[in-house]
């Protein structure tokens, strides 16, 4: 059974002014939650949004300037690693001999972009400026989407991102998130040109960090999917051909990515840490591929198990896509968040910057009153705060498996696992499960 490309889904009837509010529905699904609990974006509150963005981002910049929380050195990745890669890319080659290069070739464009500002700024300063511009683009896109409805996606993004402290300014994940967020916002429109542009952004994002391709998974069947998916494929193929023409080793990242082990911050890593704390597993943590990974017995088996879980998550997403019969404007947004959550919790690696992706996708969901992901968005807030405790504040305790570090990881990964389960359940119930009369 297929559905129209843009089905007409009228909103649920609103209660009259004299009607008492419903006491049977979840507060997360009520209009009063979306309109009264959060500030809405309009001509007046837009100034408040801008002020909060400015204050919080100045605070993040101050933290980055001192860079002394916990183990410190959050900015070293930009100052040393990205800057080193920039020199190699400027010479026309990807860093094939560097095991820490694990990114698709489009990432090279982001790494090289600060060179546009380097006549006036140093590399690190230019990178941070471009990251803030991407952050501002996300905020503006979400604010525009919020303006015509009683929604709060922009406020969620502006207030949630600082929970990760200064980390977002020192990784290129904000740029990748911007591509996915803007693509999803374009999919909400009815214009074929918007769908094609959204597909192009998703295709570009896929070559920058792979996961933005999941923005395409929830597009309505029919013309929208054809337009978006075709544009994504053409954009990705064209860019890949151009990069292969001008740079050597554009696909070298596949070798390093396939060799990754079980990172200490992943769900598998938490299981090993619990086993070590109980005296059941004798392994240790070592730096491999630019991150701390566990080495010892059963690590390889556990890594293969999580690969199988990732395959199972992909198969579930394919099944959902085939079985879904109901689409609303929120479905592409909700599906993208559910998909990225499922692939995150089944990954052998859960770096703290992954929360940037999830917060951005949750913010997009909250631009629609039809979303079913409000509880998921709420779960991600404490998960983000705990991620900051894990890195950089308590990272030494996390690596050594000390009680404080282990407790933080159990709580953070438990929240992510719960968010993934809730997201998958609510997406299925909203689009596949029979509607109860």
pLDDT tens per residue across span 86-112: 999 999 898 877 888 888 999 999 999
Predicted pLDDT of residue 436? 66
Mean pLDDT to the nearest integer, 12-27: 37
Q: For the chain, what is the mean pLDDT?
A: 88
In 66-93, which positions are buried (b, 16+ CB within 10 angstroms) versus exposed (e)?
eeebbeeebbebbbebbbebbebbeeee
- Structure confidence at residue 57 (pLDDT): 98
Position 257 scores a pLDDT of 54
Tell me, rounded to whole angstroms, the distance of Cα 278 from its chain centroid. Answer: 33
For residues 386-391, give the mean pLDDT.
Answer: 97
Share of the chain above pLDDT 90, in %: 77
Q: Is the pLDDT of residue 19 over 50?
A: no
Name the band, by pLDDT with cuts 50, 70 and 90, for residue 235.
very high
pLDDT given at position 189:
85
- Which position has the higher pLDDT, 357 or 255? 357
In angstroms, the first-to-last Cα distance of the chain is: 21
State how far the Cα of 240 lies from the Cα of 268, in Å rounded to an integer.
33
Lowest mean pLDDT among 18-22, 236-240, 326-330: 18-22
User: What pLDDT was estimated at residue 22?
Assistant: 36
| pLDDT at 202 exceeding the cut of 70 | yes
What pLDDT is attached to residue 375? 98
Q: What is the pLDDT of residue 27?
A: 39
Contact yes or no for 325/4 (Cβ under 8 A): no
Q: How far apart are CA 154 and CA 174, in angstroms?
A: 15
Using 50, 70 and 90 to split pLDDT, how confident is the model at 437? low
Least confident of 30-34, 191-195, 202-206: 30-34
Residue 150's pLDDT is what?
75
**Angle, CA 395 vertex, CA 134 and CA 355 arms, to 5°:** 30
Kindly report, residue by residue over 251-307, the tens digit of the pLDDT: 666 665 556 789 999 999 999 999 999 999 999 999 887 789 999 999 999 999 999
Q: Is the pLDDT of residue 433 over 90?
A: no
pLDDT classification of 39: cutoffs 50, 70, 90: very low
Among 85, 139, 80, smallest CA distance to 107 is for 85
Among 88-92, 125-129, 146-150, the range scoring the smallest mean pLDDT is 146-150
What does the pLDDT read at residue 16? 37
């Amino acid at each position: 059974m297929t559905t129209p490309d843009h089905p007409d889904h009228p909103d649920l009837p609103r209660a009259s002014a004299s009607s008492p509010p419903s006491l049977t529905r979840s507060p997360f699904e009520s209009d009063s939650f979306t309109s009264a609990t959060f500030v809405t974006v309009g001509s007046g509150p837009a100034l408040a949004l801008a002020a909060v963005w400015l204050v919080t981002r100045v605070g993040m910049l101050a933290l980055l300037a001192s860079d002394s929380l916990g183990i410190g050195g959050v900015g070293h990745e930009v100052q040393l690693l990205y800057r080193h890669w920039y020199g190699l890319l400027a010479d026309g080659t990807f860093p094939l001999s560097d095991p820490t290069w694990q990114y698709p070739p489009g990432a090279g464009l982001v790494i090289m972009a600060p060179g546009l500002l380097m006549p006036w700024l140093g590399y690190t300063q230019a990178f941070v400026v471009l990251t803030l511009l991407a952050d501002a683009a996300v905020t503006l896109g979400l604010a525009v989407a919020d303006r015509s409805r009683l929604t709060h996606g922009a406020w969620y993004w502006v207030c949630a991102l600082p929970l990760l402290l200064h980390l977002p300014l020192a990784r290129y994940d904000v740029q990748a998130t911007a591509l996915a967020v803007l693509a999803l916002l374009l999919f909400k429109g009815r214009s074929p040109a918007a769908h094609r542009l959204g597909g192009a952004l998703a295709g570009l994002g896929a070559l920058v960090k792979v996961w933005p391709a999941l923005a395409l998974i929830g597009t309505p069947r029919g013309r929208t999917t054809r337009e978006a998916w075709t544009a994504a494929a053409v954009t990705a193929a064209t860019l890949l051909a151009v990069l292969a023409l001008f740079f050597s080793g554009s696909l070298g990242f596949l070798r390093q990515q396939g060799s990754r082990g079980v990172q200490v911050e992943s769900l598998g890593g938490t299981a090993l840490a619990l086993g070590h704390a109980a005296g059941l597993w004798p392994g240790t943590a070592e730096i491999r591929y630019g991150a701390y990974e566990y080495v010892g017995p059963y690590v390889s088996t556990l890594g293969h198990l999580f690969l199988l879980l990732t395959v199972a998550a992909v198969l579930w997403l394919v099944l959902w896509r085939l079985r879904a019969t109901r689409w609303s404007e929120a479905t592409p947004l909700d599906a993208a968040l559910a998909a990225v959550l499922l692939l995150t919790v089944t990954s052998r690696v859960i770096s703290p910057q992954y929360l940037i992706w999830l917060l951005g996708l949750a913010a997009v969901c909250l631009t629609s009153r039809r979303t079913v992901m409000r509880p998921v968005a709420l779960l991600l807030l404490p998960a983000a705060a705990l991620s900051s405790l894990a890195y950089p504040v308590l990272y030494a305790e996390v690596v050594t498996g000390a009680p404080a570090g282990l407790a933080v990881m159990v709580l953070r990964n438990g929240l992510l696992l719960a968010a993934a389960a809730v997201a998958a359940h609510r997406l299925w119930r909203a689009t596949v499960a029979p509607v109860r009369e």
